[in-house]
């Protein structure tokens, strides 16, 4: 799952929802369990409370009753955490009797500090006790008429409740954490499995772009099957548009060839009849330029058609060695040496004819201007994180080289910096346009040999 990917967005959004649900579930279960523990604890206290209430009801009139049937020694140990208290409410001054476990102070009266009691007359609350204890207190009012009105309370250390709830919370946290981890693994598998068809479509598109397939093949889920069909339709439409444009340019170029040839012939005939006729020479010159332009645009249309639908992959090394050897023989009379550095195993994703044209133009240009030596090297370029990989061909010579201004002029179509050298001035511009059609480019620099260094960047397979 990479940054800014659909898989990561789905995973994170589902994780946030899952964590929120687990946290809410944990809080709810903890609250329910605490309420259940408090109810169970209150029921234990209520048993003692009912026993004390029965003793109060059976006590002789006018005497402060004292429970005798509780049977729990904790009420006899000082500060044991278990206490009872009987308070007479209708006397001139409150009379209080407490358990032996409460030697000092007394329990707060809930009837004075709390709201209404339950339908059963029972009041329940937390209250501070001796030695900074937090007590759970239950209280009931007993009205004996003329024999008195009493508040009977039983209290116990609420630490038992807290310990039991904390133990449950720890177990609940571990359980929810394990459950959350299992959910995350399941979620990651679900997201990756669900998006696998998109990965297959990406591989199919890469195969089309690399020339290994003509269209997207395979069965896809109904959600993305229409997308595959539309992409296939787009590929077919693009192929038809390129073919129509290529045919149109070809027809136009061939249609212009005949009139241009007629103009050239007539200009040559007029120049032969009248050698000093400037008009005939000018017409011949412009007709030759027109012929070069027509040939250039026809070749450009052919290159665009091939580059837009790549159908082959070619080894770079053999082509470089072949062209370097051929041009070294052509320029042997001038003593030009064409050297090739050790060539890595790289492949060009494109037509062999286009790679030969690029290399032929650049090596030939280097040989024209070199004094003694031309060097050719090939190297893979470091990946940029994208889907396409590139390699670089470097051709440099030991000739006079070019200034920065001349380098910019050299890339202009038909621009020749030295009319004494053979050629039409289209070589470097053709290389530039052809490399651009494949997503690459051509740059000119000052070479370490002293002449011109040409760097051409092309896609590799």
Residues 15, 150 share a domain: yes
Cα-based torsion angle of the residue sequence 308, 313, 317, 320 in order, rounded to the nearest 10 degrees: -30
Residues 374, 241 share a domain: no
Residues 427, 341 share a domain: yes
Within-domain flag for 178: no
Residues 429, 299 share a domain: no
Q: Please state the rounded mean pLDDT for residues 67-91.
A: 81
Q: Which residues of 126-150 are buried (b: 16+ CB within 10 A; e: fewer)?
A: ebebbeebebbbbbbbbeeeebbeb
Rounded CA gap, 408 and 406, in Å? 5
Cβ(211)–Cβ(459) under 8 Å?
no
More confident residue, 274 or 329: 329
More confident residue, 182 or 129: 182
Rounded CA gap, 435 and 302, in Å? 14
Within-domain flag for 426: yes
Backbone Cα Rg of the chain: 49
Rounded CA gap, 297 and 292, in Å? 9
- Whole-number average pLDDT of the chain: 81
Rounded CA gap, 444 and 452, in Å? 7
Domain boundary among 146, 164, 182: 164
Q: Confidence class of residue 281 from pLDDT cuts 50, 70 and 90?
A: confident
pLDDT of residue 120: 61
Within-domain flag for 184: no
Residues 26, 146 share a domain: yes
Rounded CA gap, 292 and 424, in Å? 8
The widest CA-to-CA distance across the chain, in whole angstroms, is 158
pLDDT of residue 417: 46
pLDDT of residue 420: 45
Within-domain flag for 368: yes
Domain that holds residue 122: 8-164
- Return the residue matching tokens 């060009």: 348
Domain boundary among 274, 307, 340: 307
**Residue range 201-228, pLDDT digits in tens:** 888 887 777 667 778 888 888 888 888 8
More confident residue, 120 or 390: 390
Rounded CA gap, 166 and 168, in Å? 5
Residues 297, 391 share a domain: no
Within-domain flag for 316: yes
Within-domain flag for 380: yes
Q: Please state the rounded mean pLDDT for residues 275-280.
A: 73
CATH number for the domain harbouring residue 439: 3.30.565.10
Residues 359, 288 share a domain: no
Q: Confidence class of residue 198 from pLDDT cuts 50, 70 and 90?
A: confident
Question: Which residues are bridge partners to 455 per DSSP?
Answer: 394, 443
pLDDT at 386 over 80: no
CATH number for the domain harbouring residue 144: 3.30.450
CATH number for the domain harbouring residue 282: 1.10.287
Q: Do the bridges between strand 95-98 and strand 82-88 make them parallel or antiparallel, or are there none, so unpaired? A: antiparallel
Domain boundary among 307, 340, 368: 307
Threshold 0.85, pTM exceeds: no
Residues 317, 249 share a domain: no
Q: Please state the rounded mean pLDDT for residues 348-362.
A: 87
Residues 454, 357 share a domain: yes
**Residue range 38-70, pLDDT digits in tens:** 999 988 888 888 888 888 887 776 667 777 667
Within-domain flag for 396: yes
CA angle 438, 444, 449 (to 5 degrees): 130
Q: Confidence class of residue 36 from pLDDT cuts 50, 70 and 90?
A: very high
- Return the residue matching tokens 């027809």: 251
Q: Please state the rounded mean pLDDT for residues 282-288.
A: 80
Rounded CA gap, 189 and 184, in Å? 9
Q: Please state the rounded mean pLDDT for residues 119-129.
A: 80
pLDDT of residue 419: 46
Cβ(371)–Cβ(398) under 8 Å?
yes
Residues 287, 362 share a domain: no
Q: Confidence class of residue 423 from pLDDT cuts 50, 70 and 90?
A: very low
Structure tokens at 97: 């009797």
pLDDT at 6 over 70: yes
Q: Please state the rounded mean pLDDT for residues 245-266.
A: 76
pLDDT at 310 over 60: no
pLDDT above 90: percentage of residues in the chain: 18
Cβ(437)–Cβ(304) under 8 Å?
yes
Report the number of secondary-structure helices (H) and strands (E) in the chain.
Answer: 10, 12
**Residue range 226-245, pLDDT digits in tens:** 888 888 888 888 878 777 77
Q: 3-state class of 389 per DSSP?
A: strand
Name every residue whose Cβ is closer than 8 Å to that of residue 164 and which is 6 or more positions away in sequence.
37
Provide the domain count of the chain: 3
Highest mean pLDDT among 120-134, 151-165, 201-215: 151-165
pLDDT of residue 177: 94
Residues 295, 337 share a domain: no
Residues 271, 127 share a domain: no
- The full DSSP string for 120-153 is TSEEEEEEE-GGG-EEEEEEEEEE-GGG-EEEEE
Within-domain flag for 408: yes
């Amino acid at each position: 799952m990479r940054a800014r990917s659909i898989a990561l967005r789905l995973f994170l959004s589902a994780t946030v929802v899952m964590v929120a649900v687990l946290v809410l579930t944990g809080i709810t279960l903890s609250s329910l369990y605490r309420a259940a523990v408090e109810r169970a604890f209150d029921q234990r206290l209520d048993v003692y409370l009912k026993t004390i209430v029965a003793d109060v009801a059976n006590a002789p009139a006018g005497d402060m009753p004292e429970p005798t049937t509780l049977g729990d020694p904790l009420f006899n140990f000082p500060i044991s955490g278990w206490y009872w208290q009987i308070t007479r409410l209708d006397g001139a001054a409150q009379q209080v009797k407490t358990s032996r476990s409460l030697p000092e102070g007394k329990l707060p009266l809930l009837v004075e500090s709390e709201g209404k009691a339950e339908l059963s007359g029972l009041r329940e609350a937390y209250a501070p006790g001796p030695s900074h204890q937090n007590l759970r207190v239950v209280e009931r009012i007993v009205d004996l008429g003329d024999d008195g009105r009493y508040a009977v309370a039983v209290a116990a250390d609420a630490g038992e409740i807290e310990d039991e709830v904390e133990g449950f919370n720890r177990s609940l946290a571990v359980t929810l954490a394990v459950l959350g981890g299992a959910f995350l693994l399941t979620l990651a598998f679900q997201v990756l499995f669900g998006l696998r068809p998109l990965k297959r479509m990406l591989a199919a598109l890469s195969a089309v772009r690399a020339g290994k397939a003509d269209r997207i093949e395979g069965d896809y889920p109904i959600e993305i099957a229409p997308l595959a069909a539309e992409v296939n339709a787009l590929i077919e439409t693009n192929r038809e548009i390129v073919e129509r444009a290529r045919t149109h340019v070809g027809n136009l170029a061939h249609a212009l060839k005949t009139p241009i040839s007629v103009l050239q012939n007539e200009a040559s005939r007029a120049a032969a009849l009248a050698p000093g006729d400037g008009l005939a020479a000018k017409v011949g010159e412009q007709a030759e330029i027109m012929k070069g332009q027509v040939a250039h645009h026809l070749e450009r249309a052919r290159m665009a058609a091939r580059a837009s639908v790549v159908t082959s992959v070619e080894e770079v090394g053999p082509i470089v060695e072949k062209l370097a050897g051929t041009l070294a023989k052509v320029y042997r009379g001038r003593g030009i040496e064409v050297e090739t550095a050790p060539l890595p195993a790289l492949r060009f994703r494109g037509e062999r004819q286009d790679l030969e044209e690029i290399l032929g133009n650049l090596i030939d240009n280097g040989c024209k201007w070199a004094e003694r030596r031309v060097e050719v090297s090939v190297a893979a370029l470091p990946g940029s994180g994208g889907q396409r990989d590139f390699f670089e061909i470097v051709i440099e010579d030991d000739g006079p080289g070019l200034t920065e201004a001349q380098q910019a002029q050299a890339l202009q179509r038909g621009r020749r910096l030295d009319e004494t050298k053979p050629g039409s001035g289209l070589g470097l511009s053709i290389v530039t346009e052809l490399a651009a059609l494949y997503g690459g480019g051509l740059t000119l620099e000052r070479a370490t040999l002293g002449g011109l260094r040409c760097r051409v960047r092309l896609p590799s397979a």
